Amino acid sequence: MLKGKAFKFGNGISTDDIIPGRFAHLRSNLPELAKHVMADAAPTFITNVKPGDFFVAGSNLGLGSSREHAPLVIKMAGASAILAKSVARIFFRNAINVGLPVLLCDTDGIKDGDELEINLIAGTILDLTTGNQLTFDKIPEIMHRILNEGGLLPYIQKHGDYKL
């Protein structure tokens, strides 16, 4: 069971919004890079987010660059899951690979600051602020297994290769 506060963003949040290209020289210094998550789009996110909180967006989250650093800095900032109506392909894969759950659901009713309680096994999201209950879509089995191991690296360390 995950519990935390929703940080709500709009549609079409790109990887350039999440971690702008001008910080590319910091990509080998992840703690430093993570200080700039959402630097232009929502500069207060990094100061207000607490471990366990949720990154909630509208449609087509994470479009753009393949930089895995985007979901990585969201995770490093403390987020325990990403909720969105839809997610761009590479960002989706990257988030799972860094061990950050992606919950595809109708986020329209979730407001910035709502307290959420998420049951990853039952597939339910309870908005404690509004009382609304949501369900989220299943992800492909192979992604599920990667996520269950904590990400792609631990998955490969355990299995040595991909298993269908």
Partner 1 sequence: MGKTLVEKILSVKSETEAKAGNIIIANVDLVFAHETTGPLAIRQFQAAGFKDVASSLKAVLFIDHGVPSPAWQLSNDHMLLRRFAQETGCLLSDIGDGICHQIVAESLAKPGDLVVGADSHTVTAGGIGAFACGMGSSDIAIVFGVGKTWLRVPESIRIMVSGKFAHGVYAKDLILHLIGQIGADGATYKALEFSGDALNNISIPERLTIANMAVEAGAKVGLFTSDNVTKAYLTALGRSDQYQQIIPDHDAVYEKTININLDDLEPVVAKPHSVDNIAPARELKNIKIQQVLIGTCTNGRLDDLAIAAKILKGKKHHPQTRLLVGPASRGVLLAAIEAGYIQTLIDAGAVILPPGCGPCLGLHQGALGTGEACLSTANRNFKARMGNPEGFIYLSSPATAAATAITGEITDPREVI
Task: Residue 132: name the closest of 77, 88, 92, 83 by CA.
Answer: 83
36-53 exposure pattern, b = at least 16 Cβ within 10 A, e = fewer: bbbbeebeebbeebeeeb
Instruction: Check residue 36 for interaction with partner 1 (CB under 8 A).
Output: no
What's the CA gap between 131 and 152, in Å, rounded? 35
Tell the smallest beta-carbon distance from residue 65 to partner 1 (Å): 5
Stretch that binds partner 1, among 48-56, 91-99, 103-111, 121-129 (CB under 8 A): 91-99
Nearer to partner 1, 3 or 27 (CB): 27
Q: Using the rule CB under 8 A, which residue among 40, 112, 119, 137 binds partner 1?
A: 40
- Asked whether position 16 contacts partner 1 by CB under 8 A, the answer is yes
Q: Which stretch binds partner 1 (CB under 8 A): 56-64, 74-82, 104-112, 128-136?
A: 56-64
Both tokens of 48, joined, read: 């207000």
Q: How many CB atoms lie within 10 A of CB 18?
A: 29
Q: Min. distance of Cβ 22 from partner 1 in angstroms?
A: 5
The rounded distance, in Å, linking the Cα atoms of 87 and 139 is 12
**Binding track over 118-137 against partner 1, x by CB under 8 A:** --------------------
Q: Is 104 exposed, middle or buried (0-12, 13-18, 19+ CB in 10 A)?
A: middle
Binding site for partner 1 (CB under 8 A): 12, 14, 16-17, 20-22, 24-29, 39-41, 59-60, 63-69, 86, 88-90, 93-94, 97-98, 140-142, 151-153, 156-157, 161-162, 164
